[in-house]
Structure 1
Amino acid sequence: MQIHIVQPGETLFTIGARYSITPQQIATANQLPNPDRLVVGQALVIPITGSYYFVQPGDSLYQIARRNGLTYQELAAINGLSPDQPLAVGWRLYLPPAPKASAEFNAYAEPFGAVSENLLNRTREAAPYLTYLAPFSFQAKRDGTLSELIVEPFVPIAEQNRVTLMMVITNLEEGAFSDELGRILLNDQAVQDRLLDSITATAKQYGFRDIHFDFEYLRPADEEAYTAFLRKAKDRFSKEGWLVSAALAPKTRADQPGKWYEAHNYKAIGEIVDFVVIMTYEWGYSGGPAQAVSPIGPVRDVLEYALTEMPASKIMMGQNLYGYDWTLPFVQGSQARAISPQEAIAIAARQGVPIQYDETAQAPFIEYTAEGKDHIIWFEDARSIQAKFDLLKELRLRGMSYWKLGLSFPQNWLLISDQFNVVKLP
């Protein structure tokens, strides 16, 4: 597949002709909200096998071949050229697809009350490309029991797509992560044993095969208690044949200050669990100033630190499937609206503004004015997710974990199918 950035004056017809594909194929693959009104700067995934390269001034067959992992003789033969033939600017050269990498993919699904049909549809869309599906979440209670969670609608989707159900347990209480709840769970052995019993019973009821702890905002004093708890859970659940995983705050050093970070000991937790999900997103968040949600530089910094504490085979990179629409100027206490990549594109088309791209953050954004107020949308597109896939492959990580299903981002799944063999557990 190929990523094409819409230029002024282009239409689906002219783009399709460029890649020898029909306009309808492009529109269908990208589920375009604006097929008759493309936006300058819009990223399109072109659903072809392999890709095309258009010769630029100064290019040689040798240079192009080397950049794409081929010999110049191979590239010449693929395109029916003589190896010593001069290249004309603008010539289209075909590049065969690169070998696929193997990786695991997880996605959280958060039902609110009843499971909506939209969430089920997004789950069905994603399931072929997932190793794990994580309904979010079973909330641990102070007596060691668990809150109820609607799981039943997800079970057949997982079974039909050979997806492993991940059981997420949190220390959420009244809508927020509770350090006091965490203190009780991690230090009261009777409550802790009851919690492990509750998890075991629920996992057997629904067929969960990974037990995933997302304990956040723990007291720094509970760092050792948390690792001891994870060790105890690992010993118990391994006997059931289940995996154990944990979500980790995005740290860049072991002694990073702040309540979100201090109880998450990367080295100790990495030695205990089968894998971790590092939450490398929300630099730009709904309650903060406008910026890219997961800028590539900070994401890389976190992952490179993690690699000093645990093997790459245990690390899943966190990735958002959404963006935010901020009203400007940002006012503390205001909330940006969560938005899908599809809706962001539709807004750009409706407002008649281009999609811009921040090369440093590797993220697209849109600036527009509505009802007299300025807005900026930072979101995800094929380019930004490709930058994360390139980083995943460069660092040889276990895979990627998405927060969260519900907002449509079809390009993400297209690029997974093109570049990865998704691991399905036996």
Structure 2
Amino acid sequence: MPTTEQARSRRSAARGPGAAHRLRTARRIGGSLWFLALIALSVVLVVVVMTPRPPGPAQPAPLVVASLPFWNSDKGTDMVVQHQHLVNEVSPWMYGLAPDGSLTTQYPREQTAQVADHIERLRRANIPIVPSLANITNGLWAYEPVATVLHDPVKRRAHVAEIVELVKRENYAGIDIDYENLRAGDRQVFTDFVTELGRELDAEGKTLSVAVFAKTTDRGYDERNVAQDYAAIGRAADEVRLMGYDFHWSTSPPGSIAPITWIREVVDYTRTQIPPERIVLGVPLYGYDWVDGHGTSVTWLQAFRLATEHRVRPNYDTASQSPWFRYTDADGREHEVWFENAASAKAKFEVARGSGIRGVYLWMYGYEDTDTWKELGNSFPARR
């Protein structure tokens, strides 16, 4: 058997005198090709990394809505126009239902010209107007008129048509539905209503907003919550306005109107049911003064004056992020006041911003802490 070296010599001789040279040349060329291939691959990778990705679907701009109750439309309009650079939608709370379920206005007839003037001022400020329609009849929340409309398919279709006609006739940007105190048995028909209304408004290029009670489970705490199917409403509406207030209310024991821990829980749950870009958190700018088991609503300015008059310094509850104080009136009755100020509003603005939801709406009783607007601008900078 030939040695390894002998075998190598035989293979070399068989190739001829130029074989070894050709082999060395081939190896050099092959090495160069691999080197060039590596350079080309590096260039491709750099180009891929450096080339900007095509933009994804555009995210809607943050939304800040000012809700203006008709009884404070004068002062409220002044404040919204003054801060129009921070507000990109306004909802005058002005429409209700007649006993037969047809649309009517909530404000007294003698205020018609005044309300029209305020609407015109908002239009001149180029703020989209999405007025609120509530099941208020003769000044009170009423169940029967809205229930009759919801449970009769013919009346429901007529109701939808009447709302769409109102929006088109008045050239509103849309409508906000605030139907409250519904019952568990209304859940499906209310879903049918908002679905039909959303479809008709969408065909006209108009916005549908629906106000819902805040809750942390589908059932919530009573029938009013059961009646509102978050997921179904979120599919039908452009905006779902979470009423993030009245955790304590006029007939409850005194306490925070909107404790921040509850607000976080409500937003977290809602995000599991509704796309975040459709969720708008309601932020209260008012409070209650409780005495003898009953609370009377107060503005920030009224709370400030009460504290000043009775020479008490408001406390700030850090757990709930809410200001409060106690005082004794001239009849010796002890009052407890919980209200909202710029700091408590700021905490809620930051929850909305940090959770990635669409934005906030301000429920304005009027005469809010003026620093609230500064904090709003810090959390949701000017966008117009």
State whether TM-score is above 0.5: yes
Larger radius of gyration: 2
- Aligned CA-pair RMSD: 2.2
Match of 2:125 in 1: 161
Residue 348 of structure 1: CA displacement? Answer: 2.5
2:374 is aligned, of 401, 406, 414, to: 414
Report the 3-state secondary structure (helix = DSSP H, G, I; strand = E; otherwise coil) of the residue aligned with 1:241.
coil
Contact 2:285 2:345 in 1 (8 A): no
> 2-side partners of 1:412 and 1:278: how far apart?
19
Structure 1 residues 311 and 422, CA gap change in structure 2 (3 angstroms): farther
Distance, in Å, in 2 between the alignment partners of 1:374 and 1:255 is 36
Q: Percent identity?
A: 25
Q: Write out aligned runs for 1:136-147 (5 A).
A: 136-141=93-98, 143-147=100-104
CA distance in structure 2 between the partners assigned to 1:118 and 1:272 by the alignment: 33
Query: Offset of 1:281 from its aligned partner?
Result: 0.2
What is the TM-score of this pair, normalised by structure 1?
A: 0.69
Query: Which of the numbers 340, 343, 346 marks the counterpart of 2:305?
Result: 346
| Matching of residue 109 in structure 1 with residue 73 in structure 2 | no
Q: 1:383/1:102 Cα in 2 relative to 1: closer, same or farther (>3 Å)?
A: farther
Q: In the alignment, which residue of structure 2 is the partner of 1:325?
A: 289
Task: Name which of 189, 206, 231 aligns with 1:242.
Answer: 206
Q: How does 1:174-185 map to 2 (within 5 A)?
A: 174-185=138-149
How far residue 378 of structure 1 moved from its aligned partner, in angstroms, is: 0.9
Say whether the 8 Å CA contact 1:284–1:293 is kept in structure 2.
yes
Structure 2 counterpart of 1:360:
319
Comparing 190-199 and 115-124, the one that deviates more: 115-124
Shift of 1:408: 2.9
How far 1:169 moved relative to its partner? 1.9
Structure 1 residue 196 corresponds to structure 2 residue 156: no
Please give the per-residue CA displacement for 1:138-172, whole angstroms capped at 9, x wherever unaligned.
21335452113544123222223321111322222
Q: State the one-letter code of the partner of 1:385.
A: A
Rounded to whole Å, the distance in 1 between the matches of 2:135 and 2:101 is 11
Q: What is the TM-score normalised by the length of structure 2?
A: 0.76
Q: 2:90 matched to 1:133?
A: yes
Residue of structure 2 in register with 1:124 after alignment: 81
Give the secondary structure class of the aligned counterpart of 1:106: strand
Contact 1:142 1:191 in 2 (8 A): no
| Range with bigger deviation, 172-181 or 354-363 | 172-181
Tell me how far apart the structure 1 counterparts of residues 167 and 205 of structure 2 sit (CA, whole Å). Answer: 12
- 1:117–1:168 CA distance, 2 compared to 1 (3 A): closer
Query: Which portions of structure 1, spanning 4 or more consecutive aligned residues, are displaced by more than 4 angstroms?
Result: none
3-state DSSP class of the match of 1:147? strand
- Cα distance in 1, alignment partners of residues 310 and 288 from structure 2: 17
1:422 deviates by 4.5
- Taking the aligned partners of 1:254 and 1:319, their CA distance within structure 2 comes to 22
Instruction: Say how many residue pairs are matched.
Output: 317
Q: CA deviation at 1:218?
A: 1.5
Residue in 2 that maps onto 1:207:
171
**Could you say what secondary structure the match of 2:336 adopts?**
strand
Matches within 5 A, 1:73-112: 103-112=62-71
Match in the other structure for 1:95: none
Deviations 1:359-384 (A, max 9, x none): 11110112222312222211112221
Distance 2:154 2:63 in 1: 36
What is the CA-CA distance between 1:401 and the residue it aligns to?
1.2
**Cα distance between partner residues in 2 of 1:413 and 1:321:** 11
Cα distance in 2 for residues equivalent to 1:364 and 1:257: 26
Aligned residue number for residue 265 of structure 2: 301
Letter in 2 for 1:225: V
Unaligned stretches of 5+ residues in structure 2: 1-59, 107-111
Structure-2 residue corresponding to 1:316: 280
In structure 2, the CA distance between the partners of 1:109 and 1:248, relative to structure 1 (3 Å rule), is same
Q: Contact 1:102–1:420 at 8 Å: present in 2 too?
A: no
Gaps of 5+ in 1: 1-100
Taking the aligned partners of 2:328 and 2:305, their CA distance within structure 1 comes to 14
3-state SS of paired residue (1:130): coil
Q: Structure 1 residue 396 and structure 2 residue 356: aligned? A: yes
1:229 alignment counterpart:
193
Q: Residues 284-337 of structure 1, C-alpha deviation per residue, up to 9 Å, x if partnerless?
A: 22232211111111111111110110121111111111112222xx42xx3x23
